[in-house]
Amino acid sequence: MAKSGRKTKGGPHALDTPTDLSQGAVAEITKSLNGLLADIFALYIKTKNFHWHVSGPHFRSYHLLFDEQAAEIYESADPIAERVRKLGGTTLRSIADIGRLQAIKDNEEDFVAPGDMLRELMQDNKGVIARMRKAHDICDDHKDVATASLLENFIDAAEKRNWFLFEAGRSSDPSGH
């Protein structure tokens, strides 16, 4: 039994889905996707945190941008978790799971300047993109084209989020300073 008291893979509660991927492939893909999923939830919470706490002259535009981005980030969680289940893996079960697996650092500061919010979210989105690319490589190694295809769409969406954050943070000075 696992530390949590639940049965481990292969036990009486294992999900036996019809896949031609090996158990090793399922385990490796599942591990990668669960780490990605933890970062998605961490990024969602941070984006909502900044949405709730942004202030200053660009309040309305940043408030709306962060809310739109948080919704998009949240919407990516279910397809990824369901993909893990389709493969026969198990996925996140708790906030503690997220905390153990997330690479994105939480921000619990009382005040964060709006420009710092933009930069931090850009860095975190880049981290999620990198984790998605790594998961994609693992899927390619195991010829899991369905998961790779799903990730391609999420990579594109994350790159778009990053672009919007970058443009929102640019100075009105034509030299870029």
pLDDT of residue 18: 73
Cα torsion through 130, 134, 140, 146, rounded to 10: -70
pLDDT < 50 positions in the chain: 1-9, 176-177
Cα(38)–Cα(177) distance, rounded to whole angstroms? Answer: 35
pLDDT of residue 126: 98
The one-letter amino acid code at 8 reads T
pLDDT of residue 15: 62
Q: How far apart are the first and last CA of the chain?
A: 58
HEC string for 46-83:
HHHHHHHHCCCCCHHHHHHHHHHHHHHHHHHHHHHHHH
Task: Name the token pair of 45.
Answer: 């919470």
pLDDT of residue 24: 95
Residue 85, CB half-sphere, CA atoms under 13 Å: how many? 10
pLDDT of residue 26: 96
